Amino acid sequence: METGLKENTAGKRKTGIYSGSFNPVHIGHLALANWLCEFTELDEIWFLITPHNPLKEKEELIDDRLRYELVKKSIAGYPKFKVSDIEFSLPQPTYTIDTLRTLDRLYPEREFYFIMGADNWTSISRWKESETIIANYPILIYPRKGYEVKLNNSMPHIRYVEAPQIEVSSTFIRQSLRTGKDVRFFLPEAIRDILQH
């Protein structure tokens, strides 16, 4: 098992990994990522589209490639955002530690920060090789309503950040669209016409 945060990160581009199903992407996702890019040490954020979360049921996922294209259209024009489909080609179901190791191997010039909500932090012990993730990667934890985060001084590379909370969910978006609601202002402008047809 790997131990200790990886050394020799000076000069590397600080790249946040924002992993999720983005089913679909909405203004809450984008606002959080925007804040993290502008108000933390991150140089950029990669939206990493997850085919299937192994801790969740196979929910009503929009087609993988369409979710990728929706994010791509939504972030166009903001140079600090990128979208990645790297997990589409990894063995399924995908696990965070395997993805991070793959990213390290493919992009040695970058230092990857993992971005997670307070709700996921409380259950990280259930993740595959969670101790390796915690020991080897900087983690930025953002607030989620109803979840308290307690960190100790032995993990200075893991930080709770006071990002704004926007209580919008992809489930709310899907249900609203299914019932014919006009929720255009919850969606990035570039994809409104695609989803509200």
pLDDT at 7: 61
Within-domain flag for 100: yes
Q: What is the mean pLDDT of residues 98-126?
A: 97
pLDDT tier at 6 (50, 70, 90 boundaries)?
A: low
Q: What is the mean pLDDT of residues 69-79?
A: 97
Confirm if 35 and 134 have CB atoms less than 8 A apart.
no
CA 21, CA 67: separation in Å to the nearest integer? 8
Count the neighbouring beta carbons within 10 Å of the beta carbon of residue 178. 9
Answer whether residue 3 shows pLDDT above 60: no
Within-domain flag for 184: no
Within-domain flag for 188: no
Summarised one tens digit per residue, pLDDT across range 7-28 is 667 789 999 999 999 999 999 9
Q: Which residue shows structure tokens 């200075």? A: 156
Domain of 137, in residue numbers:
13-167
Answer whether residue 52 shows pLDDT above 60: yes
CA 135, CA 172: separation in Å to the nearest integer? 35
Within-domain flag for 140: yes
The torsion defined by the Cα of 86, 88, 92 and 96, in degrees rounded to 10, comes to 30
Reported pTM: 0.91
Q: Total domain count for the chain?
A: 1
Within-domain flag for 118: yes
Is pLDDT larger for residue 93 or for residue 36?
36
pLDDT at 152: 84
Within-domain flag for 76: yes
Within-domain flag for 4: no
Angle at 68 between CA 50 and CA 144, to 5 degrees: 50
pLDDT at 9: 75
Answer whether residue 56 shows pLDDT above 70: no
Answer whether residue 187 shows pLDDT above 90: yes
pLDDT at 59: 60
Query: Mind spelling out the 3-state secondary structure of the chain?
Result: CCCCCCCCCCCCEEEEEEEECCCCCCHHHHHHHHHHHHHCCCCEEEEEECCCCCCCCCCCCCCHHHHHHHHHHHHCCCCCEEEECHHHHCCCCCCHHHHHHHHHHHCCCEEEEEEEEHHHHHCHHHCCCHHHHHHHCCEEEECCCCCCCCCCCCCCCEEECCCCCCCCCHHHHHHHHHCCCCCHHHCCHHHHHHHCC
Within-domain flag for 5: no
pLDDT at 1: 46
pLDDT at 93: 86
Q: Say which range, 9-18, 65-74, 98-107, 122-131, has the weakest mean pLDDT.
A: 9-18
Answer whether residue 70 shows pLDDT above 70: yes
Specify the CATH number for the domain of residue 142: 3.40.50.620
